[in-house]
Structure 1
Amino acid sequence: MAFAADGEGPSASMLNMGLNALWIMVAAILVLLMQGGFILLETGSTRMKNAGHVAGKTIFTVGLVSLVYWAVGYGFAFGTEAGEGLNKFIGIGDFFFNPAISAGEADNYPSTIFFVFQLAFAAVSLSIAWGGFAERAKLSAYLIFTLIFGSVIYPVIAHWIWGGGWLAEDGSQDYAGSTVVHLTGAMAAFAATILLKPRIGKFNKDGSANEILGHNQVFTSLSVLLLWVGWFGFNAGSAVAVGDGFFGYVAFTTQLGAAGGAVAALLISWLVKGKADIGVMLNGALAGLVAITASCAYVEPWAAVVIGLVAGVLVFLSQAFFEKIKVDDPIAAMSVHGAAGVWGTLANGLFATQALVEKVGIGQKGLFYGGGGHQLWVQFESVVVCGAYAFAASFIVLWIIKQVIGLRVTEEQEIIGLDLSEHGNYGYPEALKKSNVSV
């Protein structure tokens, strides 16, 4: 009506900006809603006595990381005032982010919406890390680690690859975060599992493992569906534009990768165990999604299927490996997000096509398309450096927390459950009573 009143319409650039803004905002909402998937995944994969704790601390830490990322994390990831030399390693600027209230004529999208989108990614990486803390960490440890992870662990890696840092200059291809988001969270989880040590009753004296079953497989199945849907915001949203509809192609390859992971994981578990393991299949779907995240904009459809199939087999083998070396990973974070994240990042060095590389404008074509080993080396470099930094930084922070205030609840608190010991109430008050706390 306003346009009609003054006889003028919006310019083509403003219309394009508005469409971009709308799509990025929808994608950001989808990614943020993935936290509902993480709540159900961790709750369903653990025991009833910890259900309220799992759900509540997820909401609390999403709130806390939002404040931290606004204050300093976004500035370290995407700030542009560091100077040419320092900018290779860290961003400076935009601390306590205070953007313009609307986009200008020359902008592709409002900076406010880009911030919300990137914040949702940081929150996902943090929630991945919580898999290594599950059922035995103090609430205070979650609080302190959130402050550090959201300010200087995740943002530094995001800057290296997405913020114009040295790996970006090398041509590292990680379209939506197999390394930046998933491997970073998984390495933090790995550090936590080492320092926290296994849950009571997980391993016997002879080294054999006991299966500590989650209490609700329906929750875990629903969580995977929620995460799967949210992933379209995660991957397709990373186009940060409507343009010619390229985000649709990204969504297409994402679906193929997820499907391949789910099918391969179910079949390999059926073949090896003699029974089709639903939990493994669910992890396979997530592993396929994690793996295709780096390559969804760079590979042809057949390659997306192969990437998903390999991820589904890999997550099954990885879970068995971590259990064999006595690492207690209740949510399989290191397998789903770590092993699959590594594979997905390396896969670009094999399957990236010339046409899609030119479309995205980052890096070179992969080995199988005549690119030689250059892009594969860059992808390997990204995995090693980012994984090592995320693990070392997380380990140091968690080790200091352990020495100063302690990481793990007492044996008595762990036995009665974190719902009661940390919060004074049960997530299932009608199902659990003080006389029955071993569930």
Structure 2
Amino acid sequence: MVKKLLLSLGALSLLFPALSYADDPSAAQLNMGLNALWVMVAAILVLLMQGGFILLESGSTRMKNAGHVAGKTIFTLGLCSLIYWAVGYGFTFGADSSEALNKFIGTGSFFFDPSISAGEGDNYPSTIFFIFQLAFASISLSIAWGGFAERAKLSSYLIFTILFTAVIYPVVAHWIWGGGWLAQDGAQDYAGSTVVHLTGALAAFAATVLLKPRIGKFNKDGSANEILGHNQVFSALSVLLLWVGWFGFNAGSALSVGDGFFGYVAFNTQLGAAGGAVAALLISWLVAGKADITSMLNGALAGLVAITASCAFVAPWAAVVIGLVAGVLVFFSVKFFEKMKVDDPIYALSVHGAAGIWGTLANGIFATQELAEKVGVGQGGLIDTGSWHQLWVQFESVVVCGAYVLAASFLILGVMKLVMGFRVTEEQEIIGLDLSEHGTYGYPEQMKKAQQNL
């Protein structure tokens, strides 16, 4: 018993050094320490979602591209970190600009050089806030890669990472989270249905349109061929990892331990995800006569995406409704894009785009005045207040942010296509990006066996 007590005290002294040097640490110090610990844990959860994206993209595509998927994800995460440190964070949260300029873009804090610890009165160290926000930027970037899958050159990932992290994502994030003009209008996007998910999805849309479909996806008569991913177990495991990471995403956005409000946010997050998974499986079963696993996995993620904007603003029953609608919406959205001959291997446009739009608009319908006041952003939605104001603000944020991301992404990728070309050759696509871009296979034994059997 004594040994356990000593170990516990030792652990506490490591977590909160102030306890070792002050007989009576202030409540502010303890509160800051707890906040810092929670936000750091949340940031780690969000960063670990990259593992979910590796499994999701590799599992949903063919074996010959698996190593490429894993490698480019780690590479772009590293590059994104450097660019966000250099300029992205400053454009999002920099506070050196004039009041007029700050409505549109932040300036300052470039090549971010933080203090080594929290200052007097701070809720957490700025270093931890930076890591948390960096994790969000990297997730939006990973969503964009869905539009590049199985046919883009590695060099295109390098260039687009730099420009997306420097001038696309930070602008939208500043408008809504950094004190920009949409924030001043009261736009509600608690953890990023628009900022993170819709931004990434629309960048993916621009890429998949300019790259055009994968070889063999569509026939001359316009009918689609199903190009199956190589590992559905990977895809299911990826959804579970992303689902767990989402608690860092949403609940972490409380940025404090406080009165435990982050628990309410997590509660709504779970209900939204559950509604999406159940609705998608049931609608696929009803429409197709078979309970489609891929649709169910997409539904779970769509529920998570949709509840991301509203998890802190709505009652639990509304979280369930938001998830249920997202699950149905994603099923029909996938069918729609395929009918429009848009090749979206990872379903980014439906899971993150359609569900991101729905999740953002849902605030204008279901947000309660009580929770809007608690969070300190906007006001209650149509059902609670009878006012259309918040729904209009949510619609405005979707349209304006969507238009900016589409225009910037098409411009950047269009120039890349003209100057350097960003799709691999037909021969390289057929043999796979593992071999053509990296000179080796992600599954060398299996691929060698397949070649021997040809």
Q: Give the whole-Å Cα distance in 1 for the aligned partners of 2:86 and 2:270.
A: 35
What's the counterpart of residue 203 of structure 2?
Answer: 188
Q: Give the whole-Å Cα distance in 2 for the aligned partners of 1:438 and 1:61.
A: 35
CA offsets 1:160-193 (integer angstroms, 9 cap, x no match): 0000000000000000000000000000000000
Q: Give the whole-Å Cα distance in 2 for the aligned partners of 1:129 and 1:98.
A: 29
What's the counterpart of residue 374 of structure 1?
Answer: 389
What's the counterpart of residue 401 of structure 1?
Answer: 416
User: Alpha-carbon deviation of 1:421?
Assistant: 0.1
**Mapped contact 1:48–1:428 kept (Cα < 8 A):** yes
Q: Give the whole-Å Cα distance in 2 for the aligned partners of 1:414 and 1:138.
A: 10
Q: Give the whole-Å Cα distance in 1 for the aligned partners of 2:158 and 2:305.
A: 26
Match of 2:290 among 241, 257, 275: 275
Matched, 1:140 2:155: yes
**Mapped contact 1:45–1:331 kept (Cα < 8 A):** yes
Q: Give the whole-Å Cα distance in 2 for the aligned partners of 1:185 and 1:89.
A: 20
Matched, 1:114 2:129: yes
SS in 1 for 2:99: coil
The change in CA–CA distance for 1:360 and 1:415 in structure 2 (over 3 A counts) is same
Match of 1:97 among 107, 112, 124: 112
Q: Give the whole-Å Cα distance in 1 for the aligned partners of 2:290 and 2:23.
A: 67
User: Alpha-carbon deviation of 1:9?
Assistant: 2.3
Q: Give the whole-Å Cα distance in 1 for the aligned partners of 2:277 and 2:19.
A: 52
What's the counterpart of residue 372 of structure 2?
Answer: 357
What's the counterpart of residue 3 of structure 2?
Answer: none
Matched, 1:167 2:167: no
TM value normalised by structure 1: 0.98
Q: Give the whole-Å Cα distance in 2 for the aligned partners of 1:435 and 1:268.
A: 37
User: Alpha-carbon deviation of 1:158?
Assistant: 0.3
Matched, 1:178 2:193: yes
What is the identity, as a one-letter code, of the residue corresponding to 2:359?
G
Unaligned runs of 5+ in 2: 1-12
Matches within 5 A, 1:150-299: 150-299=165-314
**Mapped contact 1:364–1:371 kept (Cα < 8 A):** no
What is the identity, as a one-letter code, of the residue corresponding to 1:90?
I
Q: Give the whole-Å Cα distance in 2 for the aligned partners of 1:397 and 1:438.
A: 43
Number of aligned positions between the proteins: 439
Q: Give the whole-Å Cα distance in 2 for the aligned partners of 1:351 and 1:421.
A: 50
Q: Give the whole-Å Cα distance in 1 for the aligned partners of 2:82 and 2:453.
A: 37
CA offsets 1:289-311 (integer angstroms, 9 cap, x no match): 00000000000000000000000
SS in 2 for 1:120: helix
The change in CA–CA distance for 1:347 and 1:5 in structure 2 (over 3 A counts) is closer
Task: Name which of structure 1's ranges 395-404 and 174-183 shifts more when overlaid on structure 2.
Answer: 395-404
CA offsets 1:319-375 (integer angstroms, 9 cap, x no match): 000000000000000000000000000000000001101110100100001241100
Q: Give the whole-Å Cα distance in 2 for the aligned partners of 1:400 and 1:297.
A: 40
Q: Give the whole-Å Cα distance in 2 for the aligned partners of 1:81 and 1:71.
A: 16
What's the counterpart of residue 427 of structure 2?
Answer: 412
The change in CA–CA distance for 1:4 and 1:409 in structure 2 (over 3 A counts) is closer
User: Alpha-carbon deviation of 1:4?
Assistant: 7.4
What's the counterpart of residue 12 of structure 1?
Answer: 27
What's the counterpart of residue 7 of structure 2?
Answer: none
Residue identity over aligned pairs, in percent, reads 81
Task: Name which of structure 1's ranges 58-67 and 367-376 shifts more when overlaid on structure 2.
Answer: 367-376
SS in 2 for 1:430: helix
**Mapped contact 1:21–1:113 kept (Cα < 8 A):** yes
